[in-house]
Structure formats: C-alpha cells, structure tokens
Amino acid sequence: MKILLVGGGGREHAIAWKLAQSPLCTKLFCAPGNAGIARVAELVPIAAADVDAIALWAARNGMDFVVVASDDPLALGLVDKCKAAGLRAFGPSQAAAELEWSKVFSKGLMKKYNIPTAEYEMFTDCESSVKYAKLQHPSAQKPVVIKADGLALGKGVIIARSADEAEDAIRDMMEGGRFAASGRRVVVEEFLRGREVTVLCFTDGETVVPMPASRDHKRAFDGDLGPNTGGMGVITPVADYTPEFAARCMDEIFLPTVRAMKAEGRPFAGVLYFELMLTPDGPKVIEYNARFGDPEAQAILPLLESDLLDIMLAVEDGNLRRVTPVWTDAACACVVMASGGYPGDYPKGLPIAGIESLSEDMLLFHAGTARDTEGRLVTAGGRVLALCATGNAPKEALERVYGQIDKVTFNGAFYRRDIGKST
C-alpha cells in the first residue's frame, strides 16, 4: 500500500517509524514531515493545514491510505475531504473531531450523557465570565480553570489562583485576541484534584481498545513550574491507573463517550485520547483529543508489537474487532528537548550535534528539525527532539534516557530532569 501520513512533529515521526515496519506498507510519504521522518518516508512539501492541497495530492498520486495524525487538519476536515475524493483515510471526521476542537462541544456532550467531568459554565461574553469566575472566589487552595474554546497548542488553559489572575486570563482570551477565534468563547470550570493520566484508545465508533496508560508532563520546567506546553515528557505505564480504575473508565467514560458520539450522529473512528483525573470521587474527564498525543505516541508506540497499519485499517473498516493489538510488558520513557524560550518565542536554525553518539537501544524521534542549505541538521521548532528508551519499569527506562540525553546538544536546549519522578 502507498500511505500518506499528515503532520510533521515527534508524534508523526513515531507513527511513521511504526508504519514503515508494516509488511503492508510498500511506500510511505509524509506531508510535511521533518528531518527525522525523512529517513523513513518521502517528504511531500505541503503544510498539514493545507487540507485541499493534501487531498488533491493524495488522489493524484494514488494513495491507498491517508493517516491524519495532527489536530489542525482533523479540525479542518481533511478526513472528510479524502473520503469525498474516494480515498481511505484514518482519523475522525471534522464533526467527530469537534470533541477536541471545541471545549464547549465536548463539555456539552459530557453533561448531556452524564460522563463524569469538572463542573463548568460556558460564556460568550467577557463581562459575565469575569463576574462568574470572581464569584468562585479563586484562591491557591481552590483555583478556577479558564479554558479557551478552540485549539491553542495546549496553551489555552489557565489555572487561576486569584480573582485577578482569572480576570486577566479571561480578558486576554476574549479581548486580547491571544488565541484568535479559539478564545471567543471560554469555559470556566471547577479545579479537579487527583492524579492525572492519559489513556489513548483505538475506536471504530463501536469497539474501544485502550492502549497502555501514560502520564504527560505539561509544564515547561521541573517541579511542574512554568507555562503549559504541548508536553515535555511521558512515561508509560502508570502505576496508579489500577485495573479497578481501568474498568471504571471503560464503563463510565470510554464506552459512554463513543456511544454518545454515535447517538449524536458523529461516530468517532480513529484514536480517541482521554485525559483523565483520578479523583477521590472516581475518574473524570479533563479533556478529549481526537488523535494520538504528542509526546504520548513516542512513548507508547515502541511498546506495540502488532502491526499499526493493520489496526488503523481495521478502524477505518469499522471492524476493529478483527484485530487484537498486542503490547510488550515493558515500560517506556520519553523526554523532550526543547528550544530555549519555548513555549514562547525561540530561535530556529541552530545546529544539532551528538546524535550519532547515542547508544543503539535509544529511540530518537525528531519533532522540530530540518536540514539547512548545507544539509546540516538544525532546529526548526519549539519541541525539537524526543529521546525514548524502554525498560522493565519506568524508572529503568528513565535512567537510560537521562544517561544519554546530554550527548545531544544545541544552543539553548532545555529539558525537564524530573519526568516520571512523582510517579
């Protein structure tokens, strides 16, 4: 099969690496890809969000399967466009992906179908949302959570610990235009206490197959300090996601969500990402994503023994029951190396050195990398690389990563030294 993968980050490198191992895959393309993906796929220089151009390219070049991995093209309806062009495509429709691209939609769905989540109110008007947030009397002990409605690169959530902080966050989103259209509506919600865990599931709209649970680290700096990022490191599995929690999540959250989407006439097929808080009252949904996580994919896919392409084809066929994904018992750790300044402004084009000295048991996934005019590997994004290793337990996997990570260098590089530490 000729496959086109859409996206160009670390997640897409992990997916490309795994798809390229499939005996069903004769040729892999990736749009736009990055310097690491270029080792396993032929790059197609079209931006992931240029969905019309991608669908056209895929049809003209006879792709047998299009895998849409990143959030923007899903929100822009690339899967629908591919299907309209007679192509097979993996990922949810635009209507189903609304679970991710609108928090107002996802919160409304959870309320309607009694899926456990934080209490909330939705606002389209700045003054009333400020008034409501202040009435919650936010404090360090009892913060309120302010969320921009739309996609915001993982940065649209503010945990406000005072009335002033809440007001600033709301004004920034609704008046300051910080998130453009994504901030026109906001959700103000209850702060949940507990342990956070992410569970990605394959689903064809009916059957739900969870992958090993993982834990991301969203804050930029050690000790969970600094601004939220797309994710700075992941470990899998997660000890506090016990079989009891897993069973409850399946019954109270995973299946009800998939059934709700079907009942709403928006069946969800693809990877459904559940970000959960394990609270004293049971598991609750923090948010949904409509795709693999980044960097969750980099930590989870190395544990998948089965053929990823075959699973994706079963999802697309509406016949996920025919496959039983098999995972190794191992643990995996992934630590992201980011550009100085990320998640704010950062320089690009800085040479990256030392990759060749990593030991062979390491997996290095490229996120924001490119080749300069002389063919040298350079930085090209906020998150630059994800270094991953497996082990018998997360601790062992983490020791492997931290034992090697300083071999790779670029100016201003930083990474968290405490991934998995609180686990």
Please give the Cα distance from 337 to 346 (Å, whole number): 13
Task: Single out the residue of 293, 302, 368, 382 in contact with ligand GLY (rule: CB under 6 A).
Answer: 293
Q: Does 275 bind ligand AMP (CB under 6 A)?
A: yes
Residue 304 pairs in a beta bridge with 327
Q: Does 31 bind ligand AMP (CB under 6 A)?
A: no
Asked if 392 contacts 335 with a C-beta cutoff of 8 angstroms, the reply is no
Q: Which two tokens stand for residue 199?
A: 């569970």
Q: Does 75 bind ligand AMP (CB under 6 A)?
A: no
Pattern of binders to ligand GLY over 120-139, x per CB under 6 A? --------------------
Q: Name which of 22 and 228 has its Cβ closer to ligand AMP.
A: 228
Q: Name which of 289 and 379 has its Cβ closer to ligand GLY.
A: 289
Task: Single out the residue of 18, 218, 383, 400 in contact with ligand AMP (rule: CB under 6 A).
Answer: 218
150 binds, among ligand AMP, ligand GLY, none (CB under 5 to 8 A by kind): none
Helices (H) and strands (E) in the chain, counts: 13, 22
Q: Which stretch binds ligand AMP (CB under 6 A): 8-16, 121-129, 186-194, 395-403?
A: 186-194
Q: Does 189 bind ligand AMP (CB under 6 A)?
A: yes
Residue 122 pairs in a beta bridge with 187
Q: Does 228 bind ligand AMP (CB under 6 A)?
A: yes
Which residues in the 142-201 window bind ligand GLY by CB under 6 A? 154
Q: Does 154 bind ligand AMP (CB under 6 A)?
A: yes
Q: Compute the least distance from the CB of residue 349 to ligand GLY, in Å.
A: 25
Task: Single out the residue of 289, 379, 390, 404 in contact with ligand GLY (rule: CB under 6 A).
Answer: 289
Asked if 397 contacts 333 with a C-beta cutoff of 8 angstroms, the reply is yes
Q: What angle, 0 to 180 degrees and rounded to 10, lies between the N-to-C axes of helices 255-263 and 94-101?
A: 130
DSSP code for 35: T
Q: Annotate 96-116 with DSSP letters as a single string.
A: HHHHHH-HHHHHHHHHHTT--
Q: Does 231 bind ligand GLY (CB under 6 A)?
A: yes
Beta strand pairing status for 42-43 and 27-32? parallel
H or E element, residue 5: strand 2-7
Q: Which two tokens stand for residue 46?
A: 């079209």
Residue 371 pairs in a beta bridge with 377
Q: Does 72 bind ligand GLY (CB under 6 A)?
A: no
Pattern of binders to ligand AMP over 107-146, x per CB under 6 A? -----------x--------------------------x-
Beta strand pairing status for 89-90 and 233-236? unpaired
Q: Does 216 bind ligand GLY (CB under 6 A)?
A: yes
Burial class (CB in 10 A: 0-12, 13-18, 19+), 184: middle
Q: Does 77 bind ligand GLY (CB under 6 A)?
A: no
The type of residue at 422 is S
Task: Tell me the CA distances in angstroms from 329 to 212, 299, 326, 392, one per residue in order.
Answer: 10, 13, 10, 8
229 binds, among ligand GLY, ligand AMP, none (CB under 5 to 8 A by kind): none
Binding site for ligand AMP (CB under 6 A): 118, 145, 154, 157, 189-192, 196, 218, 228, 275, 286-287
Binding site for ligand GLY (CB under 6 A): 154, 216, 230-231, 289, 293-294, 296
